[in-house]
Amino acid sequence: MSKKDLTPFVATHPGELIKDELQARKMTQKQLAQLAGIAESVLSEIVNGKRSISINTAIALEKAIEIPADYWVNLQSQYDLDSSVIALRDKKKATATLTIPARDRRLLQEIAHKFGWACVF
C-alpha cells in the first residue's frame, strides 16, 4: 500500500493547530490577532475552519509566534488535498450498481423505499 492509497477519515484544518498553540501559550485569539497584525474576524474564521490560511497570514503567524510560514502553508495544502480525496472517496461510496434477478426486484423495491434509495429498473 502506497502513501497515495492512504486517506484520513477526516481532514484536519490548520485552525485546529492554531487552537492548540493558543492553549499551550495561554493566549487568546484577540492577543494573537493583534500580535500578528491580522483582523480578529479573520483569525476567528481560520480557527473555526471557515477560512484558509493565506500566504500573508502564514507570514504574519511566523512573525507573531515563530512557527515557520511554510509549516502553515503546508498544513493548508495538506488539508485541501485530504478534503478533496475524502470527497472523492465518499462520492464513490455513495453510488453502487447492482444487478438482481427479476424475481427479487419487488423485495429490492420495498427495501429501497424503506431506506430512501434510488433504484432504476
**CATH number assigned to the domain covering 3-94:** 1.10.260.40
Indicate whether 25 pLDDT > 60: yes
Percent composition of the chain: helix, strand, coil (DSSP 3-state, to 5): 70, 0, 30
Instruction: Tell me what the mean pLDDT of segment 3-10 comes to.
Output: 72
Residue 116 pLDDT level (bands cut at 50, 70, 90): confident
Is the pLDDT higher at 37 or at 105? Answer: 37
pLDDT band at 108 (very low <50, low <70, confident <90, very high): confident
pTM, whole model, 2 decimals?
0.70
Q: pLDDT tens digits, residue range 49-96?
A: 999 999 999 999 999 999 999 999 999 999 999 999 888 887 776 556
Confidence of residue 119 (pLDDT cuts 50, 70, 90): low
62-101 as b/e, with b when 16 or more CB fall inside 10 Å? bebeeeebeebbebbeebeebeeeeeeeeeeeeeeeeeee
Question: Is the model's pLDDT at 2 over the cut of 60?
Answer: no
- In this prediction, residue 55 carries a pLDDT of 97
